[in-house]
Structure 1
Amino acid sequence: MDYFSEHYVTLILTAVYVGGCLYIGWHFKKKANQGVEGYYVAKREIPGWVISLAFFSTSASTNTYIGQAGKSFEYGLSWAWMGLIWTVFCIISWQLLGPKMRFQTARLKSFTIPDYFHLRYKSNLAKSIRVLSAVIILFATLWYMIGIAKGCAHVLTSVLDIPYEYGAFAIIAITCAYTIWGGMYSVLWTDAVQGIIMFGVAILMLAIPFMYVGGVDNLMETIRSTDHLTKSGEPIKSGLVAFGELVSFLYILGIGLSVGMKQISEPKNLIRFYSVDNARSMRFAMIWTPVFLGISLVCVMGLGALVHGMASTEEANLLINDTDEVVGFMLDKFDNKFVSGICVAGLFAAGMSSLASVIIIIGTAFVKDIWHVAKPMSESKIVPRTKWFMVIYCVIVYAMTLYPMAGIVELTAFAGAVFAASFFPAIFGGLYLKWGTDLGALTSMIAGMLVNIVWRFAFRFEYEPLKDIHEIIPAFLISMLTYITVSLFSKKRMPDERHLEVVFGKTV
């Protein structure tokens, strides 16, 4: 009873939110199970405002609201530049990729990113590209899902005193349930609801440090002359407000590119373009998605730096060594049940929106793009088997979340780097370059994947001068160069003119 009286507001608000997500999943259960197109891409009938909010909410996940927000506790307000980088890539994604991807995937009857590669490049290598891209999805999303579940579990521990392992189980199990029930319908509609909540929570969280300290002037003066220490034990002094004093711009750029470029290469974002109902909806989303994302990022990217104004020296010494705990600490320190309840619901929304999107992507990748390719199955078996694999994968993610390999930011940034270097050249070439070939796509994927892994584990953390050069930079450059060079030298492998007319026919 003591526990409930202390946390009842947060528990009730969180329960209402979770119940709403489960209801949406159950509501769309029948509609989603009418075939592969319904379950995988919601029959391409989702309105633009839903797609816009869904893209925003899945882009700004726990990585943003907990991991990135907390990281500025260590790196200061300079970290807010990350928000600008992400917003630029959101604009690029919707302006450069969205309309063409919606058009081409509808003409090719593509339901997944891997089968887009197969149908677009159409050759004896296209099947191999499809399977390889599905394997890359399974590999990279594992890191990403662990980071998201880790962040949500930390918040539940800080605010509700729920043990880490129980919190991780709850977030994964709930999201898995409504995703399995309603497929892409429930993913997109719950994401839209989550986007509305997240937008409001971003503004609310930004206000908390100012309210706690007593206004803008008081807070800025406090963090400008703090006596807190850096992770290495040096005085921070004015580092929280001085650009580049606590972190190099090269590191900000690397992390910003790796996470921001997910918006132009990650399947969970790109699949949104498949489901838009018409060109008018696409135009709405092209304008408003960067607005939703940009405003939210401005609010949360520098939040950790402001939390220094709420922390004592002893508390700051603990938080600087585990910045994933900063947002939970802020809510606990502010000690307002109603505000904590709203924010926990918003942080749950941030995690669940991305988890749901990833869960369905890994299910479709394994069943339709690996299993179905290796051993073709009837359409009636594809959706049930997709559901079963989603459950199995979630169990694996939960087990690994109990022993995470790194912090939230590094986990999700590495996943983003793998997607950007492995997929973007093949996607951009498929959409814009008629002379792009299957061999160019295949070799660029392999190059992007290998350079990411080799640079991270053999160079970046082994040599001090390279530690701020994120793997996305060499991996993306080499992958893009590989695609262009190999495609130019293998022009004979281009699909025939008739197929290219289907792919690049006049956009309506």
Structure 2
Amino acid sequence: MILTIGVLYLLVILVIGLFSMKHQKDMDTFYTGGRRFGPWLVALAISSTTMSGYGFIGLTGLVYQHGYAIFMIGIFATAGIFVSFLILAKPMRRITQKFGALTIPDLLELRYNSKAVRAITALAILGGAIGYQMAQYKALGNMLQTVLGVDYKLALFIGVAILTVYVVGGGMISAVWTDFIQMIVMVFGSLIVFIGGMKMVGGMSQLNSEIANINPDMVQAFHTTGPIGIFAFISYFFIYVIGHQGQPHVVSKFYMIRKISMLKWACIIAASTYALTALLWFVGLYTRVMVERGEMTAPATPDLVAPLFIESFFHPAIAGLIFAAVMAAIMSTSEAFLLVASSSIVRDVYQQIIKKGEKLPEKKELALSRWITLAVIALTFLLSLNPPDLVGWLGNASWGIFVASLVPVLSIGILWKRATRVAAIWSSALGFIFSIGLYILKVKELYVPDLDTGAIALIISTVSFVGISLFTKSESNVIFENGLETKGGKKRGSTVINI
């Protein structure tokens, strides 16, 4: 029954992708869906993409290992959704409407009048997207491995094959509609699993008592020893509250809403639905208790905690729906990242830098985007056959790359008229280099800092951005000079930001 429901659900996803292909007439519809979506569609796309396979599979596994401390990621990410809407949503939507920006590097070149800023941020987005995509693929492989009962590599191949048709055909339209459907299923599924699992373990008090007996640190917001201490707590604040603004697969969805007035409702819906799906992480605690009681075999790897628990203790119909929704979440998030990665190569590097802004025929540009998307799928598939880390840590590292490379130049730059081109170049370059370099050193155990590597890289990029801006000459900019139209149709001051 689980397999049947999963297959039927995936067929629905494929139909959505093939149907959406008919509406892919140009790059605007491929990357932004034509800016025609309402608050519910945009909100559920944002919450779904924020959760993704990294959240459901990876963070559930980390909760199994470390307890409640990992829930701070969910609390901070929920706050981060509000912060992103508050700072970026209106100005990004206005800029795309006035200047036609389709990608984050589009906006940043416009803000700093610099091809170098476009190139560096495009490469940073590509690098982070490949890392995050590896986390999605590993989550997809682990899920199908459990459902199909096959080897991880075969499960990964099957999942990626379906994903390829879905992504290359549908573009952003299929991603948004899939997010909408699967997020509704995941919200109800998370509530069912949370309530059902709580009854199995005997209630919250009994759960906390048994978890505390295993390790008292597991019921704390941060641990007294080990890798999830106070510095990890501080790092999560930097990466998930402040850093949510630097996630291109999330904030690029601000481009897609039909009316700016709808953003306030989208914000509330996105944060609420994300918080509800985070209840799924209790599966990590339930599994730990069941394993200690001897009622469940310990999973071979933390990445298998969620699928094994749901398969073992829930009715096949419920398990099948939850598995299907999670697979859809993984696929829609994968699509968002693949579109972000392909746009970085096609639009931001090839067309705007190599071709020096030469306008390509729409059909040629759309075809090239699809071929590049195929190439990125193939590359990330090969890398995911033997990934270097657990899903949770891979996703966390990729968030760190985006945070350090994009947050200062995007969030501060869009608010602060004094920010300069030179500062943007150095900030994004240093953020990209340090986030990747420090993570590699950490994985190789050559240098394991107390703070998360992404948080350290963010501090370096922010300090360099502000410091260099103050010591370099201020420059005029088309965004701040022209201003943007307000709701009443009048320009308001000399800045673009009217939050």
Scaled by the length of structure 1, the TM-score of the pair is 0.88
| Aligned residue in 2 for 1:476 | 458
List aligned pairs for 1:156-175, cutoff 5 A.
156-175=144-163
**Residue in structure 2 matching 1:176, options 143, 164, 174:** 164
Alignment of 1:179-194 (within 5 A): 179-194=167-182
Q: 1:332 to 1:468 in 2, by over 3 A?
A: farther
Matched, 1:416 2:396: no
Q: Deviations over 1:252-271 (max 9, x none)?
A: 44246435555211111111
Match for residue 15 of structure 2 among 23, 31, 41: 23
Instruction: Give, as a single letter, the amino acid of the residue that structure 2 aligns with 1:107.
Output: K
Amino acid of the residue matched to residue 146 of structure 1? M
Once residues 427 and 196 of structure 2 are traced to their aligned partners in structure 1, the CA distance between those partners, rounded to angstroms, is 46
* Structure 1 letter corresponding to 2:222: G
Change (3 A) 1:156 1:253: farther
Is the aligned partner of 1:371 residue 2:350? yes
Deviation per CA, 1:204-234, whole angstroms, max 9, x where unpaired?
Answer: 2323433434555554444343xxxxxxxxx
Task: In structure 1, list runs of 5 or more residues that go unmatched.
Answer: 1-8, 226-235
Change (3 A) 1:415 1:243: closer
Alpha-carbon distance, 1:159 to partner? 3.6
Q: Does 1:430 align with 2:418?
A: no
Cα deviation for residue 431 of structure 1 reads 1.8
Counterpart for residue 58 of structure 1: 49
- Aligned with residue 84 of structure 1, among 75, 82, 85: 75
Aligned residue for 1:10? 2
Distance 1:257 1:303 in 2: 26
Give the Å deviation of 1:138.
1.4
1:280 equivalent in alignment to 2:261 = yes
Structure 2 segments unaligned to the other structure (5+ residues) = 485-493
> Take 1:453 and 1:395, find their aligned partners in 2: how far apart are those partners?
22
Q: Distance in 1 between matches of 2:332 and 2:196?
A: 24
Q: Work out the number of aligned pairs and report it.
A: 483
| TM-fit CA distance, 1:243 | 4.7
Aligned to 1:228: none
Match for 2:335 among 343, 348, 356? 356
Aligned identity (percent) is 23
1:60-98 deviation digits (Å, cap 9, x = unpaired): 011111110111111112322222111111110111111
Match of 1:286, SS state, is helix
Are the structure 2 counterparts of residues 458 and 96 from structure 1 closer, same or farther at C-alpha, using a change threshold of 3 Å?
same
Aligned AA (2:332): S
Change (3 A) 1:450 1:38: same
Q: Distance in 2 between matches of 1:410 and 1:270?
A: 22
Contact (CA 8 Å) 2:83, 2:241: kept in 1 or not? no
Q: State the 1:12 CA deviation.
A: 1.9
> What is the Cα deviation at residue 386 of structure 1?
0.1
RMSD: 2.5
Contact 1:138/1:365 (<8 A) preserved: yes
Deviation at 1:199, TM superposition (A): 1.5
Report the counterpart of residue 372 of structure 2 in structure 1: 389
Write the distance in 1 (CA, Å) between the matches of 2:141 and 2:469: 45
CA shift at 1:405, angstroms?
Answer: 1.1
What residue is the counterpart of 1:5 in the other structure? none
The CA deviation at 1:468 is: 3.3
Aligned partner of residue 60 in structure 1, secondary structure:
helix
Aligned to 1:3: none
Instruction: Write the letter of the residue equivalent to 1:275.
Output: M
Shift of 1:301: 3.4
Shift of 1:311: 1.4
**Correspondence for 2:307 among 325, 328, 346:** 328
The yes-or-no answer on 1:198 pairing with 2:223 is no
Distance 1:500 1:451, change over 3 A: farther
| Separation in structure 1 between the aligned mates of residue 155 and residue 196 of structure 2, nearest angstrom | 24
Which residue does 1:404 correspond to in 2?
387
Secondary structure of the structure 1 residue equivalent to 2:150: coil
